[in-house]
Amino acid sequence: MITDSHIKDHDGWNGYKKKLDVQTAPRTIYFYKREVWFCSIGHNVGFEEDGKGCEYGRPVVIIKRCGPNLFIGVPLTSQIKPKYYFGVGEVKKKAAMAMVAQIRMFSSKRLINKIDILPIPVFIALKKAVKKFIF
């Protein structure tokens, strides 16, 4: 049974997503690996991670640029969980875990603002955790 607290606002997200997709003013966004951006990831299906608030956002670590408008990213959470998660230390003075199982491709249109950058040793360890999960 689905309770009211588990009902997702797919219609609201769909409207917001349409606005993101048809942005009239071209935005040049400069983003790079290791950066943590607040990103509109939306309301997703089932157990896929959702964004929160009016921008349906969540922090995401950029793992790899795939051109000027696409990147591979891993969403972050403050929930401490052992399986399929990797601790990245603090982001904005709050403990953060990378949800390695939620890795995916993102459009730069989803980027809201840069909030942090991971230290090189942490980023290297995160990439190893991602590779281990995938392979």
Domain definitions of the chain by residue range: 8-134
Phi-psi group of 34: left, alpha or beta (phi > 0 → left; psi -120 to 50 → alpha; rest → beta): left
* Full-model pTM: 0.81
Read off the pLDDT of residues 74-130 as tens digits, 9 standing for 90 and up. Answer: 999 988 887 889 999 999 888 999 999 999 999 998 999 999 999 999 999 999 999
CATH code that applies to domain 8-134: 2.30.30.110
Distance CA 129, CA 98 (A): 10
DSSP H helices in 80-119: none
Read off the pLDDT of residues 5-45 as tens digits, 9 standing for 90 and up. Answer: 566 665 555 555 666 666 655 667 899 999 999 998 876 66
